[in-house]
Amino acid sequence: MTAAVEIDHLTVQFGLFTAVKDVSLQIRQGEFFSFLGPSGCGKTTILRTISGFQDPSKGIIRIGGQDMQGIGPNQRPTALIFQNLALFPLMTVAENIGYGLRVRGVPKADRDRKVDELLNLIALSDQGNKKIEELSGGQKQRVAIARALAVEPKVLLLDEPLSALDLKLRQHMRNELRAIQRRVGVTFIYITHDQGEALTMSDRIAVMNRGHIEQVGNGRDVYENPETAFVAAFVGENNGFTGMVTRVADGLATVETALGTFNGVNRKSLAVGAKATLFVRPELMRFDGEGENIIDGHAADAAYEGITTHLTMKAKDSSSVVATIAGATAKAFPESGSSVRFAFTSRDATVLPA
């Protein structure tokens, strides 16, 4: 099967600045694919290149196997949901949704039928005559999606579409977006800097940093098996200890850090002498001091969040180390200032090149 979208050695430059560096990846048919990365890492640029608003400096974009070179945005089988939605304020809801069909010359009767169908899909039946101004944030969001789906694109591109909504609505819309995607089966390419969004919605995630891809994988992969220090630190919370590899054996690497000598899984087969960071997730850190690797310090803070509690320890170089534990067990955490001992199992730690 050909990939829905194939990005082949894509580079995009603005003058001397390289916004996207040699990115290659394939996005499958019907997949919910996310680009996750910090602000300014080039996510929007990739999306604009796929939709045809930005020309690649180097490399090729293929959609459904076809090279998109020289094909304008209005000829591509993609539809873009803009960061600010860009709904047409002077048109009604129905006119917005039907716009793509109108400019294609679809007869009014067919257009109306399709618009009704989509209004139904987004649970806004018989609100087609409203003006955009009359809608709530979530409704606008859904109209933007319906407008894009109306032209039956092969690929729907979404640029942080939820970032303008307030938290509660955002979480609700995540589920709704995912449900719509399942129902229509269109390939979604989703951009976000919110890892929670990426993890909950996506089939696969590409983690980006400064214009290049650090890792591509499903949410579990990216969270549990980060390939680079950037991914380990960016996706989810993490404790990182940087130092030098002093020994490698049995798939483990020993790293000498400012807080002590620790062992962790040597995923990238680092050699002795390499600079490395050893990562331990807070939920894998124990505060009862049981484990092969031990960190001593002083209790600093216990942030109770109901289900979990985040315990923060000030280590001897005054860096913070966090352990996340079940809320109920947190009572045993000593008072602020008294000495505590954190510990972790070597199999729970990951050693990555620093």
Partner 1 sequence: MSSRSVLNVMLAFYMAVFFGFLFGPLIIMGVSAFNTSTYPQVYPIEGFTLSWFDKLLSDRDMVYGMKNSLWIGMWVVLLSVPLGLAGAMMMNQVYHKARSFYYVIVVSPVLTPGIIIGISTVVFWRDLTTTTGSKFLYDGVFLTVLGQSSFISAYSMLMFMSRLNRFDRAQEEAGLDLGATQTQVFFHILLPFLRPAIFSSAVLAFLSSFENYNTTTFAILADKTLTTVLAGRVRQGTTPAISALAVLIIAVTVTGAIIYELVKRHEDRKRQERLDAAHKAERMELQSIENATLHA
Ligand X SMILES: Nc1ncnc2c1ncn2[C@@H]1O[C@H](COP(=O)(O)OP(=O)(O)OP(=O)(O)O)[C@@H](O)[C@H]1O
Residue 179 lies near partner 1 (rule: CB under 8 A): no
Q: Of the candidates 4, 27, 32, 45, which one interacts with ligand X according to CB under 6 A? A: 45
Q: Considering only 23-31, 43-51, 116-124, 162-170, which stretch makes contact with Mg ion by CB under 5 A? A: 43-51
Residue 19 lies near ligand X (rule: CB under 6 A): yes
Residue 72 lies near partner 1 (rule: CB under 8 A): yes
Q: Of the candidates 6, 32, 33, 44, which one interacts with Mg ion according to CB under 5 A? A: 44
How many residues lie near ligand X (CB under 6 A)? Answer: 12
Q: Is 316 helix (H, G, I), strand (E, B) or coil?
A: coil
Angle subtended at Cα 333 by Cα 332 and Cα 335, rounded to the nearest 5 degrees: 120
Residue 14 lies near ligand X (rule: CB under 6 A): yes
Residue 263 corresponds to which amino acid?
A: N
Residue 103 lies near partner 1 (rule: CB under 8 A): yes
Residue 70 lies near partner 1 (rule: CB under 8 A): no
Spatial strand order of the sheet with 339-344 comes to 320-326, 308-315, 293-304, 339-344
Q: How far is the CB of 23 from partner 1 (least distance, A)?
A: 22
For partner 1, give the closer residue by CB, 133 or 250: 133
Tokens of 197: 């969004």
Beta bridge partners of 36: 192, 207
For Mg ion, give the closer residue by CB, 195 or 277: 195
Tokens of 138: 């979530």
Residue 125 lies near partner 1 (rule: CB under 8 A): no
**Measured distance between the N- and C-terminal CA atoms of the chain, rounded to whole angstroms:** 38
Of 157, 192, 186, 185, give the one whose Cα is nearest residue 80. Answer: 157
Q: How far is the CB of 159 from Mg ion (least distance, A)?
A: 6
Cite the DSSP H helix spans in the chain.
43-51, 93-103, 108-121, 137-150, 167-184, 195-201, 219-224, 229-234
Q: Of the candidates 7, 10, 68, 79, which one interacts with partner 1 according to CB under 8 A? A: 79
Binder of residue 39, out of partner 1, Mg ion, ligand X, none (CB less than 5 to 8 A by kind): ligand X
Residue 294 lies near partner 1 (rule: CB under 8 A): no
Q: Which residue is nearest to ligand X (CB)?
A: 44
Binder of residue 41, out of ligand X, partner 1, Mg ion, none (CB less than 5 to 8 A by kind): ligand X
Q: Of the candidates 7, 10, 23, 41, which one interacts with ligand X according to CB under 6 A? A: 41
What is the Cα–Cα distance from 112 to 131, expressed in whole angstroms? Answer: 17
Tokens of 287: 């505060």
What SS3 string covers 266-292? CCCCCCCCCEEEEEECHHHCECCCCCC
Please write down the long-range contacts of 70-75, taking CB distance under 8 Å and 24 or more positions apart.
Answer: none
For partner 1, give the closer residue by CB, 72 or 273: 72
Cβ neighbours of residue 163 closer than 8 Å, sequence gap 6 or more: 83, 192, 194
- Residues of this chain that bind Mg ion (CB under 5 A): 44
> Which residues are at the interface with partner 1 (CB under 8 A)?
51, 53, 72-75, 78-80, 82-84, 86-88, 90, 99-100, 103-104, 130-131, 133-139, 147-148, 151, 168-169, 172
Which residues of the shown chain bind ligand X in the complex (CB under 6 A)?
14, 17, 19, 37, 39-45, 193
